[in-house]
Structure 1
Amino acid sequence: MVRLNKIYTRTGDGGTAGLVDGSRVSKSSLRMTAIGEVDEANAAIGVALAELSDGEVRSHLLRIQNDMFDLGADVATPGEVEGALRILASQVERLEQEIDAMNADLAPLTSFILPSGSPAVSALHLARAVTRRAERAAVALHEAEPLNPQLLAYLNRLSDHLFVAARKVASEEGGDVLWQPGATRT
Structure 2
Amino acid sequence: MYLIVGLGNPERKYDGTRHNVGFEAIDAISKQFGIEVNHKEHKGIVGKGIINGKKVILVKPQTYMNLSGECVLPLTDYYEIDPSTEMVVISDDVSLSTGNIRVRKKGSAGGHNGLKNIINLLGTNEFPRIRVGVGECEGDMIAHVLGRYDAEDRERVDASMEKVIGAVELFLDGDLDAAMNKYNKKEEK
Q: State the TM-score, normalized to the length of structure 1.
A: 0.32
More strand by share: 2
Q: State the TM-score, normalized to the length of structure 2.
A: 0.32
